[in-house]
Amino acid sequence: MNPFATLLLRDVKLAARSGGSAALALSFFALVATLVPLGVGADLRLLARVAGGVLWVGAVLSALLSLDRLFQGDFEDGSLDLIALSPLPLELTALAKITAHWLSTGLPLTLLSPLLALLFNLPGPATGVLFVSLLIGTPAVSAVGAIGASLTLSLKGGGLILPLIILPLLCPAVIFGAGAVSAALDGLGARDGLGLLAAFAFAAVLLSPFAAAASVRLNLGS
């Protein structure tokens, strides 16, 4: 099996084993979706209007939870040094880790979203748009998140710095994703928003591995 697939599978297995990051992210996502109506009130029309934004923000925050461990675990026990020495280019290593992260958080969050959309009284077509937007957009969250994770991998208590660094960078994804849902609600086409989101996600997934690899290299010390 090629090294990319090996690393990918290993990371997914690790994520599944260590306290199940998918379960954590899903629970957090569901809790946020519960908390907001409690705070904002049970007006179903209002909730439908804010659903896109709330669920998008919730998904981003939930995906953030497991990001700081993306490189840190391997860094701490020395495996990252070994991985860096392997024939697999560091950029592909980063891409493998990004994919693993998405498979263990972004994808589950996307799959849960239609159920949560129900809590917000989001109509069918808009829910479909929400699902597609998260499907396209969560890879971007993992990708951009990997940049932050690699920059902060040497920090023990790096907890809050990671969100501070990457949330501004993720604004376009939230704007395009939630904007697409909002457009669908208003009867305007969601195609523009989804298209822009796809372009952003494509660029993010394409370019982030380079930034992440550069950051890993500088942390492994030259």
Partner 1 sequence: MQFLFRYANPHNFMRLSGAVLPFTAIATALCIGTALYLGFTAPPDYQQGRTVLIMFIHVPAATVAMSIYGVLAVCSLLSLVWRHPLSDTAARAAAPFGALFTALGLFTGSLWGKPMWGTYWVWDARLTSFLLLLFMYLGYMALWNAIEDEVRAARAAAILALVGAVNIPIIHFSVEWWSTLHQGESIVSGTTAPVFLAPLLIMMLGYLLLFVTLWMIRIRTAILERRARNLMQGVS
CB 93 within 8 A of CB 28: no
CB atoms closer than 10 angstroms to residue 163: 18
| Residues in 176-205 that interact with partner 1 by CB under 8 A | 176, 179, 182-183, 188, 192-193, 196, 200
Q: Give the binding range for partner 1 (CB under 8 A) out of 4-12, 25-33, 126-134, 211-219.
A: 211-219
- Dist. CA 49–CA 46, nearest whole Å: 5
Give me the amino acid identity at 82: L
Applying CB under 8 A, what is the total number of residues that bind partner 1? 30
206 near partner 1, judged by CB under 8 A: no
Q: Is the separation of the CB atoms in 146 and 97 below 8 Å?
A: yes
Which range touches partner 1 (CB under 8 A), out of 54-62, 102-110, 111-119, 159-167? 159-167
- The first and second tokens of residue 177, run together, are 């994703």
Element (H, E) at 26: helix 21-40
Q: Which is nearer to partner 1, 112 or 190 (CB)?
A: 190
The answer to whether 106 and 141 are in contact (CB under 8 A) is: yes
What is the closest distance, in whole angstroms, from the C-beta atom of residue 115 to partner 1 in the complex?
Answer: 27
CB of 211 to partner 1, least distance (A): 6
**Residues present in the chain in total:** 222
Contact residues for partner 1, defined by CB under 8 A: 147, 151-152, 154-155, 158, 161, 164-165, 167-169, 171-172, 175-176, 179, 182-183, 188, 192-193, 196, 200, 211, 214-215, 218-219, 221
